[in-house]
């Protein structure tokens, strides 16, 4: 999935196309690049669900070009499933930003090639394969939380949520943990820069480092994902260098900030809702269900699609070239699907689309859920009851980048 800071790299917004009727144009807070101190998502979503099923948001400088936004679960699902009329190809600017021609694999691959990639890549992310990482994932969470506990406070986003998925990623790929700080720097440059140069420099660094590592695995195979990828075959041949780059980069942009942001939103919820926190402390076996409901309620990711052929979604005519913003947060709060969507009921067991759906369903879903479950289990076992620091104002990103806390100051008794 793409991150929003493609915004920094996108061409200036075009004029609103002629086929967009004025009555379908709406303001959409999550399209601007910005932050908010309101309790995302409660404050905006109900009003957006009064809009037409598919509405148009105009482009804004420094943000995305104008785009259609399907707000209903059913329409979002239709677009995700309809690979004849919609594509993710061309929505990501990263390769062109550095003058290269690879594309992200599998997210920007078209059928039937996409399913051939998934066939060989899926087993690398199966629950069985992820089980092998369990002990290491738990160890990282445990050690870091033990370090933080005596302080009685932490800024959860920078002191836990950002580092943790990077440690897991390095473990998964078979890369040295000493690279942590460097990966963090690249991730921040790609996701948080206001201009293109630092983004391009970081894309170049990530892809050249990961390509080097792939080359190394050809002569020094290890028990890690990079070795599996370089040894895998598709249509009777090995992956090309561009394919390896596209795959490694896809994991990098898809698998780090998404976990950090969702996890931070979940911890904010527990910090602000003492009853839910206490419930999970007393019933840790309910954590997986709770994470599913928190994944619904605080769905963070907006993905992109481009229309390939004229079609209709939610009664609206969509033309080739039109951009679709696919906010999983809106689908997750569709009152036609989820009764009282603003209420967070940890026993709800929702069928959300926060990991997408259809052929491009998140390949890292089991890994992400495992990371979030283990982090929550360890935090509730190690930290005493925690809350948001008194007088702290929690500010959240409010853009097509993952929506979640910028900082989350937590306190507990020592």
Q: Which stretch binds ligand HEM (CB under 6 A): 22-30, 133-141, 298-306, 344-352?
A: 298-306
Distance CA 200, CA 222 (A): 30
Cα(162)–Cα(87) distance, integer angstroms: 30
- Give least dist CB 371 to ligand HEM, A: 7
Q: In what order do the strands lie in the sheet with 386-388?
A: 153-155, 409-412, 386-388
Q: Are 27 and 47 in contact (CB under 8 A)?
A: no
Phi and psi torsions of 362, nearest 5°: -50, 125
Considering the rule CB under 6 A, would residue 401 count as an interface residue with ligand HEM?
A: no
Stretch that binds ligand HEM, among 61-69, 226-234, 236-244, 352-360 (CB under 6 A): 352-360
The Cα 155–Cα 140 span in angstroms is 17
Task: Determine which residue in the list 31, 67, 316, 362 makes contact with ligand HEM, applying CB under 6 A.
Answer: 362
188 belongs to the binding site for ligand HEM (CB under 6 A): no
Yes or no: say if 181 and 167 are a contact pair by the CB < 8 Å rule. Answer: no
Instruction: Work out which of 56, 355, 386, 397 binds ligand HEM, going by CB under 6 A.
Output: 355
Name the one range near ligand HEM by CB under 6 A: 143-151, 194-202, 214-222, 257-265: 257-265
Taking CB under 6 A as the criterion, the residue among 325, 363, 374, 379 binding ligand HEM is: 363
Cβ proximity to ligand HEM, 78 vs 303, nearer residue:
303
Q: Is 229 in the site for ligand HEM (CB under 6 A)?
A: no
Alpha-helical regions (H) of 123-179: 127-131, 134-148, 156, 163-173
Interface pick for ligand HEM out of 368, 394, 398, 410 (rule CB under 6 A): 368
Query: Is 161 a binder of ligand HEM (CB under 6 A)?
Result: no
Q: What CA–CA distance (Å, rounded) separates 100 from 92?
A: 12
Q: How far is it, in rounded angstroms, from Cα 96 to Cα 370?
A: 34
**Chosen residue from 48, 229, 251, 332 binding ligand HEM by CB under 6 A:** 251
The string over 204-219, giving b where at least 16 C-beta atoms fall within 10 Å of a residue's C-beta and e elsewhere, is bbbbebbbebbeebee
Q: Which is nearer to ligand HEM, 144 or 411 (CB)?
A: 144
Under rule CB under 6 A, residue 281 binds ligand HEM = no
Q: Are 400 and 3 in contact (CB under 8 A)?
A: no
Whole-number minimum distance, CB 251 to ligand HEM, in Å? 5
Q: Which of 258, 277, 311, 396 binds ligand HEM (CB under 6 A)?
A: 258
Phi, psi at residue 323, to the nearest 5°?
A: -95, 140
- Residue 53 touching ligand HEM (CB under 6 A): no
Whole-angstrom distance, CA of residue 335 vs CA of residue 342: 9
Residue with token string 């691959």:
109
Residues composing the chain: 414
Element (DSSP H or E) covering residue 306: strand 302-307
Counting contacts by CB under 6 A, is residue 367 touching ligand HEM?
yes
Contact 157, 264 (CB under 8 A): yes
CB 335 within 8 A of CB 102: no
Number of residues this chain uses to bind ligand HEM (CB under 6 A): 26
What are the phi and psi torsion angles at 68 (to 5°)?
-80, 145
Which residues in 84-103 contact ligand HEM (CB under 6 A)? 88
Q: Which stretch binds ligand HEM (CB under 6 A): 149-157, 211-219, 234-242, 250-258?
A: 250-258
The sign of the CA dihedral 283, 285, 291, 296 is negative
36, 250, 277, 311: which one contacts ligand HEM (CB under 6 A)? 250
CB of 133 to ligand HEM, least distance (A): 11
Using the rule CB under 6 A, give the single segment among 11-19, 184-192, 280-288, 297-305 that binds ligand HEM: 297-305
DSSP 8-state code for residue 179 = G
Residue 109 or 411 with smaller CB distance to ligand HEM: 109
Least distance in Å: CB of 23 to ligand HEM? 29
For residue 401, the minimal CB distance to ligand HEM (Å) is 12
192 binds ligand HEM (CB under 6 A): no
The residues that touch ligand HEM, with contacts defined as CB under 6 A, are: 1, 80, 88, 106-107, 118, 250-251, 254-255, 258-259, 262, 300-301, 303, 328, 354-356, 360, 362-364, 367-368
């Amino acid at each position: 999935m793409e991150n929003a800071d493609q915004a920094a790299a996108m061409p200036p917004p075009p004029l609103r196309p002629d086929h967009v009727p004025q009555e379908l144009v709406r303001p959409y807070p999550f399209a601007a690049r910005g932050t908010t101190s309101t309790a995302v998502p409660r404050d905006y979503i109900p009003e957006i669900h009064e809009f037409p099923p598919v509405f148009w948001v105009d482009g804004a400088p420094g943000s995305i070009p104008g785009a259609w936004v399907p707000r209903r679960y059913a329409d979002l699902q239709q677009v995700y499933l309809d690979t004849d009329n919609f594509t993710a190809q061309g929505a990501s600017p990263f390769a062109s930003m550095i003058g290269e021609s690879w594309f992200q694999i599998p997210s920007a691959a078209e059928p039937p090639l996409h399913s051939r990639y998934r066939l060989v890549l899926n087993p690398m992310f199966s629950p069985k394969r992820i089980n092998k990482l369990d002990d290491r994932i738990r160890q990282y969470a445990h050690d870091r939380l033990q370090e933080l506990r005596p302080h009685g406070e932490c800024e959860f986003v920078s002191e836990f949520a950002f580092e943790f998925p990077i440690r897991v990623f390095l473990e998964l790929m078979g890369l040295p943990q000493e690279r942590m700080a460097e990966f963090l720097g690249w991730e921040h440059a790609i996701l948080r820069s206001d201009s293109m140069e630092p983004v391009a420099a970081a894309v170049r660094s990530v892809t050249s480092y990961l390509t080097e590592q792939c080359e190394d695995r050809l002569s020094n195979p290890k028990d890690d994902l990079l070795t599996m990828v370089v040894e895998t075959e598709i249509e009777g041949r090995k992956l090309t260098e561009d394919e390896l780059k596209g795959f490694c980069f896809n994991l990098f942009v898809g698998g780090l900030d998404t976990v950090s942001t969702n996890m931070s939103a979940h911890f904010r919820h527990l910090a602000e809702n003492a009853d839910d926190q206490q419930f999970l402390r007393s019933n840790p076996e309910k954590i997986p269900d709770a994470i599913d409901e928190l994944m619904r309620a605080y769905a963070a990711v907006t993905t992109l699609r481009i229309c390939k052929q004229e079609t209709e979604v939610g009664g609206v005519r969509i033309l080739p070239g039109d951009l679709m913003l696919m906010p999983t947060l809106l689908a997750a709060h569709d009152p036609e699907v989820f009764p009282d969507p603003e209420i967070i009921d940890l026993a709800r067991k929702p069928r959300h689309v926060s990991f997408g759906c259809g052929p491009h369903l998140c390949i890292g879903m089991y890994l992400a859920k495992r990371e979030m479950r283990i982090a929550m289990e360890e935090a509730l076992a190690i930290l005493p009851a925690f809350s948001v620091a008194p007088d702290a104002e929690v500010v959240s990103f409010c853009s097509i980048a993952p929506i979640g806390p910028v900082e989350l100051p937590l306190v507990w008794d020592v």
